[in-house]
């Protein structure tokens, strides 16, 4: 018996990386999955794979930058499966070539980061909550980031709005807990997805490993397993939380890696 048997779960950004791994894992646990992405060909392929493995899923084209598109995605889920239990608000990202230090940020970069990472989740919650209430409850999971918890030299707009995702998660949890709706977030550290594989050199990846307490980088499945837990009844007394899934990179003093090296040299 799967952990999401008979549940209907919408996953955004399901054509790649974390969303793809989560859509597949949820389907393997019995969920009927609405796999949504702006890359419709990509998400159709994912749905085909889910069906071949014996799962139940449909593909939906969504542009997370547009409220109407998000609302339509949720309506399609409801019309197809008659209810919605779970929304994984996972789409996110930034203009990596322009999102650097605060003093260099332009309006376009700020606005894009806000619309893609935070406003999209706000709209997802806004339009799914009436269906969850009708259903006597449900679970919303949002993708934040360790960039929303720790300061850094780069990705200032992205990190700032991801911090907003953590706050929004608490607001939704507070406003709708009495209606049986739980809302939690995951904050991934560096996770090896097609996007990060292409962006970071091997040397940079090894630097990330040095700062992880565990001796490896993260995989999309590490996040998917956490989202599965937050979506399932196993986490039924947990709400408003952000779980760091980062190999421990965010739990220690900044000097950790240097002192480890000094210790190894002696
Ligand atoms: N990979 C990491 O290291 C990492 C770390 C922290 C947080 N995150 C967050 O995890 C989430 C998923 O990231 P990932 O690494 O799996 O990325 P990814 O690039 O592998 O997948 C993102 C998916 O989102 C889709 N997408 C992009 N813009 C969209 C839009 N406007 N509307 C609908 N779909 C759109 C893309 O087509 C793609 O399929 C994001 O919110 C990201 O910020 C990732």
Whether 81 is catalytic is no
Span 150-162, pLDDT tens digits? 999 999 999 999 9
Q: Tokens in use for 145? A: 């980031």
Q: Which CATH class is domain 8-198+217-252?
A: alpha beta
Domain boundaries, the chain: 8-198+217-252
Span 19-66, pLDDT tens digits? 999 999 999 999 999 999 999 999 999 999 999 999 999 999 999 999
Q: How far is the CA of 138 from the centre of ligand 1 (A)?
A: 23
Span 100-132, pLDDT tens digits? 999 999 999 999 999 999 999 999 999 999 999
| pLDDT of amino acid 36 | 99
What average pLDDT does this structure show over 168-191?
Answer: 98
Q: How far is the CA of 69 from the centre of ligand 1 (A)?
A: 17
Q: How far is the CA of 264 from the centre of ligand 1 (A)?
A: 37
Looking at the predicted structure, is the pLDDT value of residue 266 above 90?
no
What average pLDDT does this structure show over 209-230?
Answer: 97
First to last CA, the chain: 52
- Dist CA 7 CA 129 (whole Å): 16
Q: In what order do the strands lie in the sheet with 181-188?
A: 56-61, 32-37, 8-12, 86-89, 138-143, 181-188, 242-245
Question: Which atom of ligand 1 is nearest the CA belonging to 223?
Answer: 10
Question: Which atom of ligand 1 is nearest the CA belonging to 18?
Answer: 16
Residues 6+ apart with CB under 8 A from 35: 11, 14, 15, 19, 23, 43, 46, 47, 50, 57, 58, 59, 60
Task: Report, in angstroms and rounded to the nearest whole number, the Rg of the chain calculated over CA atoms.
Answer: 18
Q: Which of 12, 13, 88, 195 to mutate to test the pocket of ligand 1 (most atoms within 8 A of CB)?
A: 13
Question: Which atom of ligand 1 is nearest the CA belonging to 15?
Answer: 39
């Amino acid at each position: 018996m799967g952990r999401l048997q008979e549940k209907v779960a919408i996953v955004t950004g399901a054509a790649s990386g974390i969303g793809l791994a989560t859509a597949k894992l949820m389907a393997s646990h019995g969920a009927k999955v609405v796999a949504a992405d702006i890359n419709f060909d990509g998400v159709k392929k994912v749905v085909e794979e889910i069906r071949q493995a014996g799962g139940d899923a449909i593909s939906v084209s969504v542009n997370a930058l547009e409220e109407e598109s998000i609302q339509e995605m949720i309506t399609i889920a409801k019309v197809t499966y008659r209810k919605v239990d779970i929304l994984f608000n996972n789409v996110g990202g930034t203009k990596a070539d322009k999102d650097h230090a605060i003093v260099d940020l332009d309006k376009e970069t700020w606005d894009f980061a806000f619309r893609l990472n935070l406003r999209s989740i706000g709209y997802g919650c806004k339009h799914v909550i009436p269906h969850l209430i009708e259903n006597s409850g449900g679970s919303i999971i949002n993708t934040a980031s360790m960039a929303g918890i720790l300061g850094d030299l780069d990705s200032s707009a992205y990190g700032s709005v991801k911090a907003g995702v953590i706050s929004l998660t608490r607001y939704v949890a507070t406003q709708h807990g009495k209606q049986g709706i739980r809302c939690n977030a995951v904050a991934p550290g560096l996770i090896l997805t097609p996007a990060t594989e292409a962006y970071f050199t091997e040397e940079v990846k090894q630097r990330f490993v040095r700062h992880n307490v565990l001796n490896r980088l993260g995989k999309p499945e590490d996040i998917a397993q956490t989202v599965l837990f937050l979506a399932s009844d196993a986490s039924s007394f947990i709400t408003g939380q952000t779980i760091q899934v980062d190999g421990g990179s965010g739990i220690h003093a900044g000097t950790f890696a240097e002192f480890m090296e000094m210790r190894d040299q002696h």
